[in-house]
Structure 1
Amino acid sequence: MFRNREIQLLILAMAGVSTLAVVLAFFLPSAAPAIVLILAVLLITITLLFTSWRYQKIRTLSGYLKRISGGDYTLDVRDNAEGELSILKNDIYKVTAMLSEQSSGLQQEKTMLTEAISDISHQLKTPVTSMVIMADLLSEPELAEDKRKEFTNNISVQLERIEWLVSSLLKLSKIDAGSIQFKQQPVLLKELVHKSLEPLLIPMEIKQQSLTVNGEDDAGYLGDMNWTSEALINMLKNCVEHTPEGGSITINIAENALFSEIIIQDTGRGIPKEDLPYIFQRFYKGKHAGEESVGIGLALAEKIIKSQQGSVDVRSEAGSGTTFHIKFYKQIV
């Protein structure tokens, strides 16, 4: 308490007045009663002034708190002087700064949520509108049988697209919310790669693309086989779709003391330089994206890998192919 500057000033003022009164009473003993009375009045006045000053400071702090509760986070109530009120001011400033950051974060999340809902609505609007039109055409009795089959097939394709979109969004939401517990089990990289390639072998065969997998058989990492396979499928699918007929896809596997890595390289048309910084953003569609692309596969892949202490980088040049470099770190330094 005695380290507070205001308390020190109060004690000095009261001690000075009391000392003066004692000296006067010593030299003027006949006036001692009057001196004591004056001393009492002065001490009471000093105490009242000090108390009033402190109440004024407290009222000011109370006003700050009311403004903060009203959403005004632009206050700067820092005070470098010593004392418990100054300490309280500094604490209020820290809380204000924290609340301001939280408010800004919530506003950004609200904006991102609004944009995400808008993007999702846009992605669903096109296939739903298409299905509504085709459903109306199917209801016509005079519709040719070949057209009926074509429309039915198109509706089936659009439903699969919507199902994939909703499923991917749910997975992303679960990862964002931290509700998914990724397993920490030994995973062999070659086994992971072959598992991820299975659903893409037929499309690769149709396009007559060659596939090469190089690397050590015992290279591995600690992680979740199924989730990581989903991430790899999305990246490999991107390579297959953007590599022309007769092209090649090469996968290199390696492990060292710091990390395990998978390098996927294709001979496709590459990604334009201006698109590279954004390919992992949700709903981003580059210049070379297909009409059926919704721009969510690579975003999901990056989320899954980063959630397992990993990283993914992409290098590409137009006309020279694309390289995905995935690393799973053994520990965070």
Structure 2
Amino acid sequence: MLRNRQLRNMLLIMILLSIVGAIIIYYMHPMAGIISFIMMCLLALCSILYTFQRYREIEKLSSYLRTISTGNYSLDIRDNEEGELSIIKNEIYKVTLMLTKQGEFLKKEKEQLADSLSDISHQLKTPLTSMMIMIDLLSDANLKPDKRIEFTKNIEIQLERMEWLLTSLLKLSKIDAGTVTFKKEKVFVSELIQKSLEPLFIPIEIKDQELKIEGNPDIGFYGDLNWTSEAVINIIKNCIEHTHNGGIISIFYKDNPIYTEICIGDNGSGIGKEDLPYIFKRFYKGKNASEESIGIGLAMAWSIIKIQNGDISVTSHKNRGTQFHIKFYKQIS
């Protein structure tokens, strides 16, 4: 405590003033001078004890901060008393809580990153292994021409699958990192549906599926047409894949004062109850998922819709079909 120069100067001034004051009073009245000197000494002692106590509290705070710096956030120093030290204690406790939450969030992020890397490695390992085997077979000079064409075609399919996976992961990583700027423009749902269906007309035609679209062409919302189209494509694609030949893909959209809703459904095999809570989770593949499914399309759709003040939910019944409900909430001006 006495290492503090300001405190030493204060004590020195207090002592000098006490001595000078006591001497002056002593010349005026000896007994009063003695009493005043004693009282001044007691006041100085009380001041020293009070300062010493404050230094002990400050030392506790310093020790607490050192503990925090080691990563231990379990201590609780909340103080309901009045005073500046109590305020500092409570503020430090608030910072500790914030650091605790940030630490938990960072830990969770690391775990998710590790899981994602593991999933990506697994997703890439299968097509790579398959291609290596086929390339080895293609090196055989005695391989029949029809088999050579078949293996070459399979390698092309695997490469396209890997390209789609890596492109999708890149888009998702940009969304997660917040580096994507989503536009806030008027998007007409009819235009969005038309744009989303363009790359899917051939798969629909191949499976001889019926396409039903219903909605007011004037209905729209504020968002990003291109990115929202990415989400809708993945949802419709999921419906096409899980609907039998000759099935029905239905798209219905409507509007109300609170949100614009787009309903995309099918009359396919449906999604099992045990799978419903996880279908928007990355790399999750339900029991009815096809072998080509990677489990990233619906996760991307969920991220794109959520970041645009939207929501997506799903209802499904076995062998009766699945319905995706997309809602874009309106901004209150």
Post-superposition offset of 1:332: 5.6
- Asked whether 1:59 is paired with 2:59, we answer yes
| 1:41 corresponding residue in structure 2 | 41
- Asked whether 1:175 is paired with 2:152, we answer no
| 1:73 corresponding residue in structure 2 | 73
| 1:320 corresponding residue in structure 2 | 320
| 2:244 corresponding residue in structure 1 | 244
Normalising by the residue count of structure 2, what TM-score does the alignment of the two structures yield? 0.89
Counterparts of 1:220 and 1:58 in 2: how far apart (Å)? 61
| 1:297 corresponding residue in structure 2 | 297
SS at 1:75's partner residue? coil
**Bigger Cα displacement from structure 2, 122-131 vs 35-44:** 35-44
Kept in 2: contact 1:309–1:332 (CA 8 A): no
Normalising by the residue count of structure 1, what TM-score does the alignment of the two structures yield? 0.89
Q: Deviations over 1:48-99 (max 9, x none)?
A: 1111111111101000000001101111100001111111111111111111
Counterparts of 2:214 and 2:75 in 1: how far apart (Å)? 60
SS at 2:71's partner residue? coil
Q: How does 1:17-166 map onto structure 2 within 5 Å?
A: 31-166=31-166
| 1:256 corresponding residue in structure 2 | 256
Post-superposition offset of 1:30: 5.0
Kept in 2: contact 1:316–1:323 (CA 8 A): yes
Counterparts of 1:183 and 1:58 in 2: how far apart (Å)? 52
Counterparts of 1:285 and 1:94 in 2: how far apart (Å)? 41
Counterparts of 1:332 and 1:133 in 2: how far apart (Å)? 58
Q: How many residues align?
A: 309
**Bigger Cα displacement from structure 2, 249-258 vs 72-81:** 249-258
Q: Which amino acid aligns with 1:233?
A: I
Q: Deviations over 1:193-250 (max 9, x none)?
A: 1221121111111111111111112111222111111111101110001000111111
Change (3 A) 1:158 1:332: farther
Identify unmatched segments of 5+ residues in structure 2.
1-17
Counterparts of 1:236 and 1:158 in 2: how far apart (Å)? 22
Identify unmatched segments of 5+ residues in structure 1.
1-17
Q: Deviations over 1:126-179 (max 9, x none)?
A: 111111111111112122211111111111111111110010011111111111
Post-superposition offset of 1:39: 2.1
| 1:4 corresponding residue in structure 2 | none
Report sequence identity in percent. 59
CA RMSD of aligned residues (A): 1.8
| 2:8 corresponding residue in structure 1 | none
Counterparts of 1:104 and 1:79 in 2: how far apart (Å)? 25
Counterparts of 1:290 and 1:162 in 2: how far apart (Å)? 16
